[in-house]
Homo-oligomer: A and B are copies of this chain.
Amino acid sequence: MSITNRVTPTSTPTQAGRFLDVRALTDTLTANLSAEDQTPQSMTDASPAKWHRAHVTWFFEEFILRADPSYAVYDETYRYLFNSYYEAVGARHPRPERGLVTRPGVADIAHYREYVDSAMVDALERGALDDDLLALVELGCNHEQQHQELLLMDIKHLFSTHAFAPAYVDREADDAEVSEPLTWRSLSGGITEIGAHRGPDAAFAYDNEGPRHRVFLEDFEIAERAVTNAEWLEFMADDGYRRPELWLSDGWAHIHETGWQAPEYWQYSDGEWTTFTLSGRRRLALDEPVVHVSFYEADAYARWAGARLPTEFEWEAAAATAGEARGQLLDPARCHPGRAATSMVGDVWEWTASAYLPYPGFVPANGAVGEYNGKFMCDQHVLRGASAVTPSGHERVTYRNFFPAPARWAFSGLRLAR
């Protein structure tokens, strides 16, 4: 991705501290995982936890440390093993076989992390990095935050395949809670500015969040909270998964191929619905936002509810005026959404009606990091908000998350518009 917004240069200690904070969270998140847990890949879309740990480290080594000719690369084979999809960097290990790379092991990767951390902190503290490289450091920190979320999504998926539902983190059952009744907020249309600001004082944003540009919106209403599990059960009880008129053609075909009758991770047995969480299998909490639904399901639900999904432009216009409140963001002791509340950011990512396309005037960054976002702008769908596994500080109103329509392993829910 391109660095559309330069971070204002700040004192070196702060930068190193910011860097180390991000790095430390990754280590915190993998502390509960054995070497065995960190090795497999439960599907092509997912990656092993130890791969995530190495890949985010390689990102700093590849794009920042290698810029210094005197830097001694830790292991030349890692470029091949831990490049994700950067064609400009060269050949790389086939994605579907990441789970077969048993070597380096977890201990080797911990050592690699320390080596790169030390070199990075040294460079940051020496003030050896120019503005372009400092911008790449900030990109690398955001990149690692993004992978923290992916790592938790992937571990959840991996553990869900286990017949006996292991827990990633112990957690008490929540107290009974009652979700808010569904209310609507009205917004007036007209020309609206969308996207991240750019410039010396702008906060970090990915290249795909810009340029900031004008769109014309009609008047619309947007729900004050996300759709809940209780509401989803009503949809199911009303034959939501069996009525073709509610579904896009692709979605109808997909639920027949897959046999989907409920969101990912849900199971019905002994007269009740449970769902798999990062704390093992739990009784479904009715007042929580529904999560792990595909775009197809979100779209069908909206049609059933006599509403629709908001476009990403409507969503952003609404969020920009919704205040600073945040729902549940990543808490390593929880890793699960809170109750469906009025905040638009947090708890669950929200599918929008928008295809993931470049904004007018979008130009990817020069160099390999130009592949970060732009080349995926095809047949993906934008999600907005943030989830209970998004690291705090990584969320923002202009953030454009994206997944293909059938994807369900992200913490994805929905909010209605009309």
A405 close to chain B: CB less than 8 A: yes
Q: A102-B158, A249-B85, A355-B357 are in contact. Are A36 and B37 (CB under 8 A)?
A: no
Apart from A36-B36, A36-B103, A218-B361, list 5 A-B contacts with CB within 8 A.
Answer: A35-B39, A35-B106, A37-B102, A100-B158, A249-B378
Chain B positions within 8 Å of A166 at CB level: 103
Instruction: Provide the bound-state CA to CA distance between A296 and B245, in Å.
Output: 31
A66 close to chain B: CB less than 8 A: no
A353 close to chain B: CB less than 8 A: yes
- Copies of chain A in the complex: 4
Of the candidates B36, B214, B245, B370, which one forms a contact with A102 in the assembled complex, judged by CB atoms under 8 Å apart? B36
Chain B positions within 8 Å of A93 at CB level: 163
Chain B positions within 8 Å of A407 at CB level: none
A residues 210-265 near B (Cβ < 8 Å) are 213-216, 218, 244-245, 247-252
Contact B102 A34 (CB under 8 A): yes
A50 close to chain B: CB less than 8 A: yes
Contact B379 A405 (CB under 8 A): yes
Contact A50 B36 (CB under 8 A): yes
Give the 5 A-B residue pairs with the shortest CB-CB distance, closest first: A355-B355, A87-B244, A35-B35, A36-B102, A216-B216
A126 close to chain B: CB less than 8 A: no
Interface size classification for chain A? 35 or more
Q: A34-B105, A158-B100, A161-B97 are in contact. Are A250 and B379 (CB under 8 A)?
A: yes
A40 close to chain B: CB less than 8 A: yes
A24 close to chain B: CB less than 8 A: no
Of the candidates B38, B99, B191, B376, which one forms a contact with A216 in the assembled complex, judged by CB atoms under 8 Å apart? B191
Instruction: Provide the bound-state CA to CA distance between A87 and B242, in Å.
Output: 12
Contact A163 B81 (CB under 8 A): yes
Minimum CB–CB distance for A416 against chain B, Å: 15
Chain B positions within 8 Å of A103 at CB level: 34, 36-37, 162, 166
Q: Which residue of B lies closest to A91 (CB)?
A: B163
Minimum CB–CB distance for A20 against chain B, Å: 26
Chain B positions within 8 Å of A85 at CB level: 249
A360 close to chain B: CB less than 8 A: yes
Of the candidates B99, B252, B376, which one forms a contact with A87 in the assembled complex, judged by CB atoms under 8 Å apart? B252
A273 close to chain B: CB less than 8 A: no
Per-position binary interface string of chain A over residues 20-61, scored 1 when its CB falls under 8 Å from any chain B CB and 0 otherwise: 000000000000001111111010000000100000000000
Chain B positions within 8 Å of A405 at CB level: 378-379
Contact A40 B40 (CB under 8 A): yes
Q: A39-B40, A215-B216, A379-B379 are in contact. Are A77 and B248 (CB under 8 A)?
A: no
12 pairs from A and B in contact (CB 8 Å cutoff): A34-B105, A35-B35, A36-B36, A36-B50, A40-B100, A99-B99, A100-B162, A191-B191, A249-B375, A251-B378, A296-B378, A378-B405
